[in-house]
């Protein structure tokens, strides 16, 4: 089980060795100006005040109307994680402060923290008892937390409550001897942290599946069995130690990385359930198959908000957020399913009026596309991932406006 002590248990300077602090240090006022300086955007506030639709450069071919998604940007978990990180710096100005990974997947936020002296490290050999370690919003593995606890350093836990809900779910499965099938990316820190929770239980097993293609392989194995060695080779990095598909696919419970594509997660759970039903029948399935949708509400809201753009006649959608941000990548995937869209990390992606550097859906590397900004009056959809500061989105808006003001209106 995961336990965290809260700061309300503490006297101001009485941190016990290995203590995990989960509540605010009560320094919100002190960090407010820094947060505004680093993340606020006047133009985004203006667009929100205008009802999320804002027209600039009116009355000419250069008119551009921005449609801001009804749900976008920092989620509750990221808000809290960023605030706690800033408070930690304020609370321990003279201590070495480490992060076990990027606090969230946004380069601007991580850069700001590094500028404040917070170091990202997985090399715990250099962490000392008197140091402070921040656990990121998407969690840390059980072994990382245990190693830091044994070192005796204070840990500041910014792990999102929605991630903790997934942990509870897979721990429950593990306790009952049910294999956790986790829809997620096995290399993502959140999924690594979630799967590590299972291993704290004697009967804990897990299998991570990325997409429907992998689920088809799993379903085939459930229905007909198959070549165990081949199965284990394919899922080598995605299963718990000693995983045996012949026995460990008989009882299963589905969970998700919180930021996956919701529609895909639901479809994956349905496919797995169908396979168990085909193989073992109704009564057995009811007793031995579990499914709890653990997509977080912030992810769900942002994905639904993109779908609202379907009813608008947009020329393009700009999806803004870290290239390694799972939820931003999924927003880009949804947007591309019905209109032209570009996933950019920040305003630097808008190279010029002619060129945009962006990450195509499903790819790891960016490409440059020409003629991305059409001439004539424009309707542009805007959204940003749960880890993207409004300031980054605002800079994108300003850059588009600066291009438009220079664009040749006669063409």
Region of 49-57, 196-204, 206-214, 292-300 interacting with ligand SF4 (CB under 6 A): 292-300
Region of 3-11, 57-65, 179-187, 296-304 interacting with ligand SF4 (CB under 6 A): 296-304
Q: Which residues from 35-94 bind ligand SF4, rule CB under 6 A?
A: 75-78
Residue 186 CB contacts under 8 Å (≥ 6 apart), including other chains: 192, 195, 208, 210, 237, 238
Residue 72 beta carbon to ligand SF4: minimum distance, rounded to whole angstroms: 12
Residue 128 CB contacts under 8 Å (≥ 6 apart), including other chains: 96, 151, 153
Q: What are phi and psi of 83, to 5 degrees?
A: -60, -45
- Round to whole Å and give the CA distance between 314 and 64: 11
209-238: b (≥16 Cβ within 10 Å) or e: bbeeebbebbbebbeeeeeeeebeeebeeb
Q: Which is nearer to ligand SF4, 56 or 135 (CB)?
A: 135
Region of 118-126, 220-228, 231-239, 295-303 interacting with ligand SF4 (CB under 6 A): 295-303
How many residues bind ligand SF4 (CB under 6 A)? The answer is 15
Answer positive or negative: Cα dihedral of 79, 83, 84, 85: positive
Q: Is 298 in the site for ligand SF4 (CB under 6 A)?
A: yes
- Round to whole Å and give the CA distance between 73 and 392: 10
Answer positive or negative: Cα dihedral of 191, 197, 198, 199: positive
- Among the listed residues 31, 133, 160, 396, the single contact to ligand SF4 using CB under 6 A: 160
Q: Which residue number is nearest to ligand SF4 in terms of Cβ? A: 77
Q: Which is nearer to ligand SF4, 321 or 349 (CB)?
A: 321
Q: Which is nearer to ligand SF4, 139 or 245 (CB)?
A: 139
Helix, strand or coil, per DSSP, at residue 64: strand
Answer positive or negative: Cα dihedral of 364, 266, 263, 81: negative
Q: Which is nearer to ligand SF4, 194 or 379 (CB)?
A: 194
The answer to whether 79 touches 38, Cβ cutoff 8 Å, is no
Q: Is 292 in the site for ligand SF4 (CB under 6 A)?
A: no
Q: Which is nearer to ligand SF4, 79 or 398 (CB)?
A: 79
Q: Which residues from 240-269 bind ligand SF4, rule CB under 6 A?
A: 258-259
Q: How many contiguous H segments (helices) and E segments (strands) does the chain have?
A: 15, 16
Q: Which residues from 178-217 bind ligand SF4, rule CB under 6 A?
A: none
Residue 165 beta carbon to ligand SF4: minimum distance, rounded to whole angstroms: 9
Among candidates 208, 201, 206, 142, which has minimal Cα distance to 176? 201
Q: Which is nearer to ligand SF4, 79 or 176 (CB)?
A: 79
Q: 142 burial class (0-12, 13-18, 19+ CB within 10 angstroms)?
A: middle
Region of 159-167, 234-242, 363-371, 392-400 interacting with ligand SF4 (CB under 6 A): 159-167
Catalytic residue numbers? Answer: 190
Q: Which is nearer to ligand SF4, 243 or 323 (CB)?
A: 323
Residue 308 beta carbon to ligand SF4: minimum distance, rounded to whole angstroms: 19
Among candidates 202, 240, 241, 243, which has minimal Cα distance to 221? 243
Going by the DSSP 8-state scheme, the letter that residue 16 receives in this structure is P
Residue 194 beta carbon to ligand SF4: minimum distance, rounded to whole angstroms: 11
Per-residue contact flags (x/-) with ligand SF4 for residues 109 to 148, judged by CB under 6 A: ----------------------------x-----------
Among candidates 338, 387, 330, which has minimal Cα distance to 361? 330
Residue 57 beta carbon to ligand SF4: minimum distance, rounded to whole angstroms: 34
Q: Is 299 in the site for ligand SF4 (CB under 6 A)?
A: yes
Binding region for ligand SF4 (CB under 6 A) = 75-78, 137, 160, 162-163, 258-259, 296, 298-299, 327, 386
């Amino acid at each position: 089980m995961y336990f965290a002590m809260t700061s309300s248990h503490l006297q101001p300077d009485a941190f016990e060795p290995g203590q995990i602090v989960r509540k605010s240090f009560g320094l919100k006022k002190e960090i407010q100006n820094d947060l505004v300086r680093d993340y606020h955007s006047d133009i985004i506030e203006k667009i929100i005040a205008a009802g999320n639709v804002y027209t600039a450069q009116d009355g000419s071919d250069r008119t551009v109307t921005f449609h801001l998604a009804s749900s976008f940007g920092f989620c509750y978990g990221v808000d809290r994680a960023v605030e706690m990180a800033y408070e930690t710096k304020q609370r321990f100005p003279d201590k070495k402060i480490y992060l076990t990974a990027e606090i969230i997947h946004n380069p601007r936020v991580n850069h700001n923290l590094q500028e404040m002296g917070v170091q990202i490290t997985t090399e715990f050999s250099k962490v000392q008892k008197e140091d402070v370690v921040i656990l990121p919003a998407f969690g840390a593995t059980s072994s990382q937390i245990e190693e830091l606890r044994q070192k005796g350093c204070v840990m500041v836990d910014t792990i999102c409550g929605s991630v903790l809900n997934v942990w509870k779910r897979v721990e429950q499965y593990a306790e009952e001897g049910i294999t956790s099938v986790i829809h997620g990316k096995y290399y993502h820190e959140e999924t690594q942290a979630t799967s590590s929770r299972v291993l704290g239980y004697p009967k804990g097993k897990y299998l991570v599946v990325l997409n429907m293609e992998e689920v088809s392989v799993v379903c085939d194995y459930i229905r007909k069995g198959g070549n165990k060695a081949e199965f284990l080779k394919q899922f080598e990095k995605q299963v718990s130690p000693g995983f045996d598909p012949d026995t460990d696919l008989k009882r299963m419970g589905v969970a998700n990385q919180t930021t996956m594509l919701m529609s895909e997660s639901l479809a994956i759970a349905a496919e797995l359930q169908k396979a168990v039903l085909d193989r073992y029948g109704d009564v057995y399935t009811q007793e031995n198959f579990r499914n709890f949708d653990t997509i977080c509400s912030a992810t769900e809201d942002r994905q639904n908000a993109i779908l609202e753009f379907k009813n608008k006649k947009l020329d393009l959608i700009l999806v803004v957020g870290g290239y390694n941000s799972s939820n931003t990548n999924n927003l880009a995937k949804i947007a591309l399913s019905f209109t032209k869209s570009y996933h950019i990390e920040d305003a630097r992606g808008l190279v010029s009026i002619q060129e945009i550097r962006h990450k195509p859906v499903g790819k790891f590397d960016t490409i440059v596309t020409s003629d991305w900004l059409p001439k004539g009056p424009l309707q542009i959809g805007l959204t940003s991932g749960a880890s993207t500061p409004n300031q980054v989105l605002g800079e994108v808006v300003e850059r588009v406006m600066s291009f438009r003001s220079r664009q040749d209106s006669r063409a």
